[in-house]
Amino acid sequence: MSHGASTDIEAVEAANTALYDAVEHADLDALTNLWMDDGVSVVHPGWPTLTGREEVLRSYALIMANTDYVQFFLTDVDVSVHGDTALVSCTENILSGGPAEEDGSAGPLVGGLVVATNVFRRTDDGRWKVWSHHGSPVLVEREDEDDEDGLDDGDVHL
Amino acid sequence: MSHGASTDIEAVEAANTALYDAVEHADLDALTNLWMDDGVSVVHPGWPTLTGREEVLRSYALIMANTDYVQFFLTDVDVSVHGDTALVSCTENILSGGPAEEDGSAGPLVGGLVVATNVFRRTDDGRWKVWSHHGSPVLVEREDEDDEDGLDDGDVHL
């Protein structure tokens, strides 16, 4: 259930889509233009937090250099706008290409499921820019397994 | 490197600490007062995204009911304030108690490492309230292993 004026929500959704498009196209210039200058942070799935524009952009450059192919299908997109800040949560259904085979042919495709919380700020020129991206793997099964309540009781992978 | 006016940063840090104190003390009333009314979302480590105040608070009630003992040691606390919104990233060094033994004695202590991105909004009465919490397990080793760049190439746990 999205929250905010519909024009704001549309603009934020477009900025959110642009973020994933930039990664899909390995377009570091586009990505650089999408991120705010100050106080930014990123958590890629399973990674520690990286803070500061330089470190954030370097991490994307590294990911792009190590990714042969990636496509994001976004679902459960939820936008909440308060003033000049927008919070987006979404599920990234990821299809990515593994390393190329030794004979030069494309590697196998790998699927992944990541949930993301993306924070955007409206800048003085009215554009929405990325303040923070936090993506994390979904490790808890939706089906009940051993544990009746489906919780992992904080026993996260150490 | 925190960003913003020092009085704002201190107030946000206090709100962030209060969030963890409420979970440590299993104080659902305190937690309820800390969260905003509209557009909230939460991702607990390894979980899918939960949106909406009711679902968020229910998830905390469930976690509290299933946790005998938990203590958070926060490190790498980084606060960025823009207008009435604050972004906090921190590392949660978690010490939690496992299930009690059959003889009634306390269960074993378990350690955990989680990185969190917490978003706060300043309400009309000047208080900082939680808009979003996203915690995720750190799965990537800081030491280089097989992979020279330390990346997992998007091969998150499916």
ipTM: 0.84
With beta carbons under 8 A apart, name residues in chain A contacting B157.
46, 137, 139, 157
d(CA B138, CA B92): 10
| Residue B51 at interface with chain A, using a CB cutoff of 8 Å | yes
The two beta strands, B85-97 and A109-122, are unpaired
**CATH code for the domain in which residue A65 is found:** 3.10.450.50
| Residue B121 at interface with chain A, using a CB cutoff of 8 Å | yes
- Select from B9, B148, B137, B2 the least CA-distant residue to B78: B2
pLDDT digits 0-9 by tens, A38-61 = 999 999 999 999 999 999 999 999
* Parent domain of B49: 6-137
- Select from B78, B141, B73, B152 the least CA-distant residue to A50: B78
pLDDT digits 0-9 by tens, B98-156 = 667 778 777 777 889 999 999 999 999 999 999 999 999 999 865 444 444 444 444 33
Residue A106 lies in a domain: yes
Residue with tokens 């905003």: B36
| Residue A58 at interface with chain B, using a CB cutoff of 8 Å | no
For A136, name the nearest residue in chain B, comparing CA atoms only.
B136
d(CA A72, CA A75): 9
Residue B43 lies in a domain: yes
Size of interface A-B (CB pairs under 8 A): 213
Residue A31 lies in a domain: yes
pLDDT digits 0-9 by tens, A68-122 = 899 999 999 999 999 999 999 999 999 988 667 778 777 777 889 999 999 999 9
- The DSSP letter of residue B35 is B
- 3-state secondary structure labels for all residues of chain A: CCECCHHHHHHHHHHHHHHHHHHHCCCHHHHHHHECCCCCEEECCCCCCEECHHHHHHHHHHHHHCCCEEEEEEEEEEEEEECCEEEEEEEEEEEEECCCCCCCCCCCEEEEEEEEEEEEEECCCCCEEEEEEEEEECCCCCCCCCCCCCCCCCCCCC
The neighbouring-strand residues paired with A97 are A69, A109
Report the number of distinct structural domains present in chain A.
1
| pTM of the entire predicted model | 0.85
The three-class DSSP label of residue B158 is coil
Residue A71 lies in a domain: yes
Q: Over chain B, what is the mean pLDDT? A: 87
Looking at the complex, report in whole angstroms how far the Cα of residue B108 sits from the nearest Cα belonging to chain A: 12
Residue B149 lies in a domain: no
- The DSSP letter of residue B39 is S
Residue A142 lies in a domain: no
Which residues contact residue A54 at a Cβ distance below 8 angstroms, ignoring those fewer than 6 apart? none
Tell me the HSE value of B25 on the side-chain side, using a 13 A CA sphere: 11
B104 and B63 in contact (C-beta within 8 Å)? no
pLDDT digits 0-9 by tens, A87-96 = 999 999 999 8
| Residue B70: its H or E element | strand B69-82
Residue A51 lies in a domain: yes
Residue A19 lies in a domain: yes
pLDDT digits 0-9 by tens, B14-33 = 999 999 999 999 999 999 99
* CA B55, B70, A43, A138 torsion-angle sign: negative
A131 and B4 in contact (C-beta within 8 Å)? no
| Residue B63 at interface with chain A, using a CB cutoff of 8 Å | yes
